Amino acid sequence: MEIEHSTGIKSGLVRMKQFYDYAPQLKNIRWTVVAPDEYRNKVIEFSNMPQFKELDTRFFPYSAVEELYSLCARRNPQGITDDFLDAFMEKCVTH
């Protein structure tokens, strides 16, 4: 997960790609960019560049983080799954 608040989206994707390339055991993890909602189009644009496409990046906007936090604070859910978390994220890569 890369949080983009003060650094560039592209530099975050470069860091994630370096982990992807040099740590084979990490290839199957969920590569996620957490950023302000207004960064959505840029996250999707950069995630679809040829050098980043294989990361199959997800976008987790701040508004969804706030929604998830609020839900968890009110309901105290147990056994949170990847599928549950995916409901708050958007797949960026178009195949």
Strands (E), the chain: 2-3, 32-35, 58-61, 90-91
15-67 pLDDT tens trace:
999 999 999 898 899 999 999 999 999 999 999 999 999 999 999 999 999 99
User: Left if phi > 0, otherwise alpha if psi is -120 to 50, otherwise beta: which for 56?
Assistant: left
Average pLDDT over residues 72-80: 92
